[in-house]
Structure 1
Amino acid sequence: MQTTYPALVTHQDNGALLVTFIDLPDTFTEGDTLEDALFNGTEVLSAMLGWHLDQGSAIPQPSVGVAGAYYIAPDAKTQSALLLRCARGDRPVADLARGLGTSWAAAQRLEDPHHWPSLKQLDRAARVFGKRLVLSVE
């Protein structure tokens, strides 16, 4: 699954750069420079995806191939929570807990965007769902 979301950056009358996310219309921010705007984009994307994860609400898949868009990724802990939620799909958290040999609460924490799971925990959780953990540095 891709975790980078397309964002459009437009110039405002006041000189600021407005960042809007195509797939998340309630998610936007701005910055004085492109660097600031994209940094703020990461921050607001992480916060809004975290809020959606906390609420248990559906999170849209990111659009691909959007012309003129900047693709922005949320922070690492939000990405890991989002990826595990997607890998689990409609299966209950109890399936993950059983596969890991741990409690429901411990398994649920892996999908908490405010929790920093270890790489070992993420790798084991991915294997429960027949997936593998792949890391990337950009």
Structure 2
Amino acid sequence: MNTLYPVMLEPQEPSGYCVQFVDIPGAITEGETLEECLFNAAEALTGVIESYIELGQEIPRPSENIKEAYYIAPDARVQSALLIRWARGDRSLADIARALETSWPSAQRLENPHHSPTLKQLERAASVLGKKLVLSLE
């Protein structure tokens, strides 16, 4: 599963760029340099997805192969919550809690963007969801 969202940079006058996500309309930011834009984009994406999760809103999947786009991921806490949520699909949190042999609140924390699950918890959850945990540094 992919959590890299495409972002487009549009030059602004007299300087800098406007940064807009293709799939997340509420995630808009700006910056003077490319580096600043990409940093701000990650912050904006993290904040908007956190908000979507807290409000129980549907989170769009990221588009792929957008020409001239930069691809940005939210922070690790939000990525893990998002991936667990997507992998769970229609299964209830109660089903996941039973499969993990844990409490419902413990299972719910896996989808909480303010909680940092351990690698062991993520690995167990991935296994229960029929997935494999894969880490990447970029």
Partner of 2:119: 119
Q: Which residue in 2 is equivalent to 1:10? A: 10
Q: Who is 2:57 aligned against?
A: 57
TM-score by length of 2: 0.97
List, as ranges, runs of 4+ consecutive aligned residues in structure 1 with deviation greater than 3 Å.
none
> C-alpha separation between the residues in 2 aligned to 1:111 and 1:43?
19
Mapped to 2, the partners of 1:39 and 1:14 lie a distance apart of 21
* Runs of 5+ consecutive residues of structure 2 not aligned to the other structure: none
1:135 is the counterpart of 2:135? yes
Deviation at 1:14, TM superposition (A): 3.7
Cα separation, 2, equivalents of 1:92 and 1:12: 46
Question: Cα distance, 1:101 vs. partner?
Answer: 0.8
Aligned position for 1:73: 73
Q: Number of matched residues?
A: 138
CA RMSD across the alignment: 0.7
- Structure 1 counterpart of 2:41: 41
**Distance (whole Å) between structure 1 residues aligned to residue 33 and residue 52 of structure 2:** 28
Q: Does 1:29 align with 2:29?
A: yes
Q: How far apart are the structure 1 equivalents of 2:43 and 2:4?
A: 13
Per the TM alignment, residue 32 of structure 1 is displaced from its structure 2 partner at its CA by 1.3
SS in 1 for 2:20: strand
Once the two structures are TM-superposed, the CA of residue 13 in structure 1 deviates from its matched residue by: 1.4
Q: Which runs of 5+ in 1 are unaligned?
A: none
Post-superposition CA distance 1:19-48 (Å, at most 9, x none) = 100001111101111100100000000111
